[in-house]
Structure 1
Amino acid sequence: MSINQAHYEGGLLLYQGEQIVNHSKNVTLTFDNVNQECGEIFRGKHKGKVFVTTHRMIFLSNDQRDNLLSFAVAFMYMKNLHVEQPLLGANYISGIVAAHPNG
């Protein structure tokens, strides 16, 4: 998991050999059960775009004044993923993200 490391001047930074598999616009990112030590960066709703690459999932914020400009997580640090498609609501993905060791 990395915060504010996957963007540059409003664009997306990819690793060498990494390819975009899918992307979605108009995405809302929220965090539940955030520890106090994580600070204010995770609080509230963040609107932007999500990119799924061959290595990770990356969120880019639409608001350049937001404290969370980008959020990236490698697939190996995700667990308990659930894809929900309710009849009368928006589709969403939920799960648990762990920090990199010593991160």
Structure 2
Amino acid sequence: MSINQAHFQNGLLLYQGEQIVNHSKNVTLSFDDASRQYGEVFRGKHKGKIFVTTHRMIFLNDDQRDNLQSFAIAFMYMKNLLVEQPLFGANYISGIAASHPNG
């Protein structure tokens, strides 16, 4: 998991050999428990774009004044991943994002 490391001048930074598999606009990112433990950057709802690559999932914020500009999580650090497609609601992904070792 990294914060504000996957963007540059409103664009997306990819690793060498990493490819975008899917992307979506108008995505809302929120954190349940992180705001209490890790501070202001995780508070509230963040609206932007999400990119699913061959290595990780990356969120880019649309609001340039927000403290959280980008959020990236490698698939190997995701736990309890749940992809839901409810009949009468918006699709969503939920899970636990663990930090990198010593992160």
- Residue of structure 2 equivalent to 1:43: 43
**AA aligned opposite 1:56:** R
Give me the whole-angstrom Cα distance separating, in 2, the residues matched to 1:35 and 1:43: 5
- Which residues of 2 match residues 64-103 of structure 1 at below 5 A? 64-103=64-103
Give me the whole-angstrom Cα distance separating, in 2, the residues matched to 1:32 and 1:69: 18
Deviation at 1:87, TM superposition (A): 1.6
Give me the whole-angstrom Cα distance separating, in 2, the residues matched to 1:95 and 1:71: 14
**Count of residue correspondences:** 103
**AA aligned opposite 1:95:** G
- Residue of structure 1 equivalent to 2:62: 62
**Sequence identity, in percent?**
81
Structure 1 unaligned residues grouped into runs of 5+: none
TM-score by length of 1: 0.96
Give me the whole-angstrom Cα distance separating, in 2, the residues matched to 1:36 and 1:61: 21
**AA aligned opposite 1:90:** A
TM-score by length of 2: 0.96
Give me the whole-angstrom Cα distance separating, in 2, the residues matched to 1:36 and 1:29: 16
Deviation at 1:35, TM superposition (A): 5.6
Give me the whole-angstrom Cα distance separating, in 1, the residues matched to 2:35 and 2:59: 20
Structure 2 unaligned residues grouped into runs of 5+: none
RMSD between superposed Cα atoms in Å: 0.9
Runs of 4+ in structure 1 off by over 3 angstroms are none
**AA aligned opposite 2:63:** D
Deviation at 1:37, TM superposition (A): 3.6
> Secondary structure of 1:68's partner?
coil
